[in-house]
Structure 1
Amino acid sequence: MQYQPRSIPIINKALPPNQVSLLVLAFLALNIFYNLYLIPFSLPYLFVFADRCGLIFSANLPLLYLLAAKSQPIKFLTGYSYECLNIFHRRVGELLCIEALLHFLGMMFVWYGMLRHLGFTLAHFLLNRLAGLGLGTFIAYQLLYFTSLRSFRQQCYEIFLASHIFLQAAGLALLFFHYHTSQPYVAISLAIFLTDRLVFRLWLKSSSHPATLTVLEDDETVLLSSNWDISKHRSTFLPKSMTHGWKPNDHIFLTIPQLSTKHTLQSHPFTIFSAAPIEHLVNEPDQQSGHAWFSLLIRAQYDSGFTRILLDYARMHRSTRIRLDGPYGSSNALDILSSSETSIVVAGGSGIAVAYPLLWALLHPTSSTSSDIEVGTSPSLAKRNNVKLLWIIHSASHRTWLPEDKLKELQTWGLEFLITPPTGEIGRPDVNSILNQWVSVQGTGVVVSGPDGLVRDVRNICAAMVRRGEDVKMQVEKFGW
């Protein structure tokens, strides 16, 4: 179930692990059943199938928006944060596009086979209020899908963000007036979207801080740093913002209004590079709150876009003001590592931003005393000493991303690490041999973060170990979404 097949040939479409594929196929099969159940398969009743596709489209809308929400109840039910569920959000979105296409084609066949003979021209049919609103909804969601493709997101992330807001607002409005049976589903979807965006992201989980910018040795990476006193004033039920701290492996959405006017409305996801804060003696009323030391490792991508603009800005400015939306994430990775006899973290390049907070939480001598700031650790962590790091770097200059003093500190606490020679000079290391030497018969937890190729290799190495009967648990943590 953990095995990840190769990408689909020709189109080079990456496939998820088998367990995810089976769940997606089961969901698609359920929708196909609803599409075809008791449908009369004859040309005069083609409109019934087309109408059913429209109903399936509307019924899946709330699920689409629920899976996209950053603050969602699914995390409390499953323990998986929204970024782990994003693959299901994309599959639901693709299903909706197919349902919309089938609905559109079915109605076109209805016009061609029936209404055309009654004197309805194509223009008359499409400009009809009912059909016109449906056509507008169809175009909005098809454009929403194409602008969400990974290739488009990577090259035009800012356009993706803006179009995502505009197109889904337009699509919901057009669908609401298109047909009355869709209105309850549109209302639920809109409520989910507004609650997530306005109540949680722009109010409860938003905070503003001064920050310093440092261009690192490779001249392509920015270290963004900030610090603040942790607030003790928080509700048990309401979500916490960054002013209350964060957990290892959490991420945030970063906004820097000073870059330009358009960047005021943009937010970009980054994994928190610094260790999660630990607040001591929380039961003592005369003690001060803890302090948060926050940093992000931001590597410039492509020739334009937010990261490149930020790098150019950092070369001329040492400070700025940032707005943080978060934290988000789950403790699955830390739970797997902390419950295993041997803990292995594999980082590829800037995936060290994921690895370092996990290693710090696993090894820090006082991490087990934390109670108020939920760092996801357990008392057993203080007794652990079999923690290993494999860091695969592309260039020698990337070593500076994790300062030598921090690495030695982790080593003093018990970390065993291997930093491979730069892959740009000697090629990729034999990850299979390294992991097989490190695995423990008493139980091993493996967490990997890095490029897709590395993630697939590590996932399949662990799947092979499980197939041999070894006790290996594995978790993938993506760096960037």
Structure 2
Amino acid sequence: MGSLLATILVASHHAHAHAHGGMTMADIMAAQAGRDPWADQPRHAMALLYLLAAILATGTLCHLARAAEHRFGAVRRLLAPANGGLMVRWRAAARSLLMRRYYGATTTAWLVIGGVMLFVTVMSFSIQPYYREMIGMGSSPLALRSGWLAIALMPVVVLLGLKVTPLTLLTGLSYAELNVYHRWFSRIMLFLSTVHTIPFLVQNGNAGNLQTWFTANRSLLVYGIVAYVALFLICISSFLKLRNLAYEFFVVQHIVISILYIAFLWLHVHKLLVSDKYMYATVGIWGGGILMRSFMHIFPNVLGGERRLRRGVFNATITALPDMLQITVPVNDQIRWAAGQHVFLRWGGMARIMQNHPYTIANAKLMSDTPMTIMIRVMNGVTQALYDEVMQTSPSGMRVAGDAAPSLTKWVSVDGPYGAKIPTERYNELVLVAAGSGAASIVAPLQAWVAQHAAALATAARTPHEGLPLRVSVVWVARRPAHLATWYETPLREALASLKQLGVDATVRVYVTQPEMATAETPGKAQPSAKIGSTTLVAASSGPADALPESMTGMSVAHGRPDLAVLLPQIWSTSAGRVACVSCGPGPFMVAVEKAVVAQQRVMARGASRVVDLALFAESYGW
């Protein structure tokens, strides 16, 4: 970021001050007057900060409007009246354009990222001149502008990368959602640093002065080169495929190289106009974020509810299920969380101190002593090693039908919770769509929604959601019948039994993709969905290990993969009011869900639906 800013300034105003006729500093400043002079370069950095402040203000206003809509009935009736209207149609039309994800980011995020990229490009290249008439008259204005724009982004990038950041309160975006901007703004910094470097090399190369210039400014050049290389490594290693290859290594190197980058960058730009102010801001934001996070861990009661942070060590029970680890942590009232949040877990003592991974919490905090449940799909690496350790507690080394699942107790470090909650209480209908172990992300919202609406119905003070119908639809795609029987059968069964008691319309559709799974009535063919209490669809199996438990026969079970482009619109065709779609699964699965939601937004924009608010809460696999 601004990797050769100091070099250009020093080279032009010191090494070359006496070149080409022995120009003095006064001569140089007079020649630069009115031509983007060196002394006025910080104004470009401020222009970028004004743009970013305007973007933040827009996001904050949208978040406040959204919060006011759900908090105040008058605002809700204005923005999303139960009978629809122009506001509903306009918002649906906007969402149909802005909510689609491409390469891990929403259209909204790409518009912001692209807007910032366009702004810095125009700011760098639209102003003339690119070079001074003579090298002794000063550094290339193109190099200076791009350097200052890069410096302006530095504290912003750090702020976007914090796990505890005020930006979450202002925008409603979780740190994971803000991390998209953190990564891409860093890449914009790398672009600006490259633009900043090239004019300097061209200017001195054309003058045949490279060796002399490098010798005269060796220290500053070395600082700039190290900073540039560090930023390049940070940006390259941040791409998803590289992060997933070795996540623990990524975390360690990211912290180490970031510290190295900031240190050498500061040495590179030290005392150049107001550059130190940006560096103080960068270090202050990073250090302040660490202090705030530590303070919230030490004094968790400062913030209430799911905003409380806590880092603790608990004696957890770890159970080995088919292809899955279930970690039950007795946190009691020490940690509170909301649906949709996650924690960082670490186990294995000092030997695995850097293996700190985020996992979605798979249950809701219904009582003060509710234990935390984490469901982890067994993959290569640390999860496979833990699974093997648990399996060794079984005498046969593997689970046998009828035996209790192997388990052990282990000290586990828990840090959290983090992430924005899913505000299930705002919606009269839930549509929960998950694939495989992604069902961990839909169980907690389901449990929270049931508890919230059970309490509202019990008070009889008012009808929740202004009399709109309450409804829940669950779609779960699993690979094996054994996954249905052991992963989420108990919480799903309990939640659905509660819904039945409340008289809530609830439908569960389960799809099994493994070939040997088929329904009893028509093997190999998907059957119509069945509501709670139906026992018409029972899974056939090849043996006891693949059989569904009797308690799951109340759900619709079908073989094959559902066509979400057909299934989800069918669900929404009979929906009314405010609907939350919560989804988790692999990339292609999530794309299918998002396309279906976008299509429904278009239906709403045409005024052809009774749904007035359709919100998508999506989570993909990955760190």
TM-score by length of 1: 0.82
Aligned counterpart, 1:292: 370
Q: Which residue of 1 aligns with 2:179?
A: 86
Cα offset, 1:39, TM superposition: 3.5
2:361 and 2:374 in contact (8 A); partners too: yes
Find 1:227's aligned residue among 312, 315, 330.
330
Does the C-alpha gap of structure 1 residues 19 and 403 become closer, same or farther in structure 2, counting only changes over 3 Å? closer
State the identity %: 22
SS in 1 for 2:193: helix
In the alignment, residue 165 of structure 2 is paired with which amino acid?
Q
Which stretch has the larger CA shift, 49-58 or 182-191? 182-191
After superposition, the Cα gap between the structure-2 partners of 1:34 and 1:316, relative to the gap in structure 1 and judged at 3 Å, is farther
**Alignment pair present for 1:132 and 2:266:** no
Among 339, 345, 348, the alignment partner of 1:254 is: 345
Shift of 1:427: 5.0
Q: Which has the larger radius of gyration?
A: 2
TM superposition score normalised by structure 2: 0.64
Q: Which amino acid aligns with 1:343?
A: L
Is the 1:255–1:268 Cα contact (8 Å) retained in structure 2? yes
- DSSP 3-state at the match of 1:225: strand
Which of 384, 390, 415 is 1:314 aligned to? 390
* C-alpha spacing 1:424/1:29, structure 2 compared with 1 (3 Å): farther
Which residue of the other structure, out of 209, 231, 234, is the alignment partner of 2:314?
209
2:281 corresponds to: 188
For the 8 Å contact 1:50–1:102, the answer to whether it is kept is yes
- 1:360 maps to which of 447, 450, 462: 447
Structure 1: which amino acid aligns with 2:415?
A: D
1:113 CA displacement: 2.0
Cα offset, 1:148, TM superposition: 1.4
- 1:442 and 2:588 aligned: no
Q: 2:107 aligns with which of 8, 14, 18?
A: 18
**Alpha-carbon contact 1:175-1:182 (below 8 Å) kept:** no
Q: Indicate if the aligned counterparts of 2:223 and 2:268 stay in contact, CA closer than 8 A.
A: yes
CA contact (8 A) 1:274 1:294 kept: yes
Q: CA deviation at 1:183?
A: 2.5
Q: Which amino acid aligns with 1:117?
A: N
5+ unaligned residues in a row in structure 1: which ranges? 8-13, 231-242, 279-289, 370-377
SS for the counterpart of 1:33 is helix
Equivalent residue runs for 1:2-151 within 5 Å: 2=96, 14=103, 16-36=105-125, 38-42=127-131, 44=133, 47-114=140-207, 116-117=208-209, 120=212, 124=215, 128-151=218-241
The answer to whether the 8 A contact 1:245-1:277 is kept is: no
Deviations along 1:1-46, one digit per CA (max 9) or x if unpaired, are 4457796xxxxxx263333322222222222233235341347577
Residue number in structure 2 paired with 1:473? 615
Task: Provide the C-alpha distance between the structure 2 equivalents of 1:223 and 1:405, rounded to a whole number of angstroms.
Answer: 13
Aligned AA (2:581): V
Partner of 1:164: 254
C-alpha contact (below 8 Å) 2:320/2:387 kept by paired residues: yes
Q: For the structure 1 residues 69 and 15, does the alpha-carbon distance in structure 2 shift closer, same or farther, using more than 3 Å as the test?
A: closer
Q: CA–CA distance in 1 between the matches of 2:465 and 2:494? A: 16
Look up the match of 1:433: 566
**2:388 maps to amino acid:** D
Cα contact 1:364–1:382 (8 A) shared by 2: no
Secondary structure, counterpart of 1:66 in structure 2:
helix
- 1:374 aligned residue: none
Contact 2:143-2:197 within 8 A present in 1 as well: yes
Partner residue, 2:589: 454
SS where residue 277 of structure 1 aligns?
A: coil
What SS is found at the alignment partner of 2:412? strand
Q: Is the 8 A contact 2:587 2:621 kept in 1?
A: no
User: Partner residue of 2:487?
Assistant: 402
Letter in 2 for 1:397: A
* 8 Å Cα contact 1:359-1:410 kept in structure 2: yes
Q: Is the 8 A contact 1:252 1:324 kept in 2?
A: yes
- Rounded to whole Å, the distance in 1 between the matches of 2:373 and 2:360 is 9
Q: Deviations over 1:342-377 (max 9, x none)?
A: 3201111111111000000111367647xxxxxxxx
Q: Indicate the SS of the match to 1:275.
A: coil
Structure 1 222/102 Cα, relative in aligned 2: closer, same or farther at 3 Å?
A: same
Residues 394 and 35 from structure 1, CA distance in 2 versus in 1: closer, same or farther, beyond 3 angstroms? Answer: farther
CA change 1:109–1:148 in 2 (3 A) is: same
Please say if residues 368 and 380 of structure 1, whose CA atoms lie closer than 8 Å, have aligned partners that are also in contact: no
Asked whether the equivalents of residues 96 and 599 of structure 2 are also in contact (C-alpha less than 8 Å), the reply is: no
Quick one: which amino acid aligns to residue 218 of structure 2? N
1:205-252 CA-partner distances (Å, limit 9, x unpaired):
322211111111x2x32111111331xxxxxxxxxxxx2411111101
- 1:28 alignment partner, SS class: helix
Tell me: CA distance 1:72–1:298, structure 2 relative to 1, closer, same or farther (3 Å): same
Distance 1:50 1:187, change over 3 A: same
Residue by residue over 1:311-358, the C-alpha shift from the partner in whole angstroms, topping out at 9 and shown as x without a partner, is 333334712111111111213x334xx433432011111111110000
Aligned CA-pair RMSD: 2.8
- What is the distance in 2 between the residues matched to 1:37 and 1:368? 61
Residue by residue, what CA displacement relative to the aligned partner does 1:414-444 show, whole Å, maximum 9, x if unpaired? 2421111226776532112211111145233
List per-residue Cα deviations over 1:260-299 (Å, max 9, x = no partner): 52x2233211101122233xxxxxxxxxxx2131111111
Q: Which letter maps to 1:353?
A: A
Task: Provide runs of 4+ in structure 1 moved above 6 Å.
Answer: 4-7, 381-384
Provide the rounded CA distance (Å) in 2 between the counterparts of 1:95 and 1:379. Answer: 51
For residue 20 of structure 2, what is the aligned residue in structure 1?
none
Q: State the partner residue of 2:290.
A: 197
Per-residue CA shift, 1:375-401, capped at 9, x if unaligned? xxx993898740111111123332245
CA shift, 1:104, in A, is: 2.5
C-alpha distance in 1 between matches for 2:466 and 2:316:
33
Letter in 1 for 2:268: H
CA distance in 2, matches of 1:418, 1:58: 53
What is the SS of the residue equivalent to 2:212? coil
Query: 1:254·1:324 contact (CA, 8 Å) conserved in 2?
Result: yes
- 1:449, 1:455 within 8 Å by CA — same for their partners in 2? yes
Number of residues of Structure 1 aligned to a counterpart in Structure 2:
432
Q: Partner letter of residue 566 of structure 2?
A: S
Where do 1:372-411 residues align within 5 Å?
380=464, 385-411=470-496
For 2:49, the equivalent position in structure 1 comes to none
In the aligned structure 2, how far is the partner of 1:179 from the partner of 1:77? 32
1:118 positional shift: 7.2
2:366 and 2:448 in contact (8 A); partners too: no
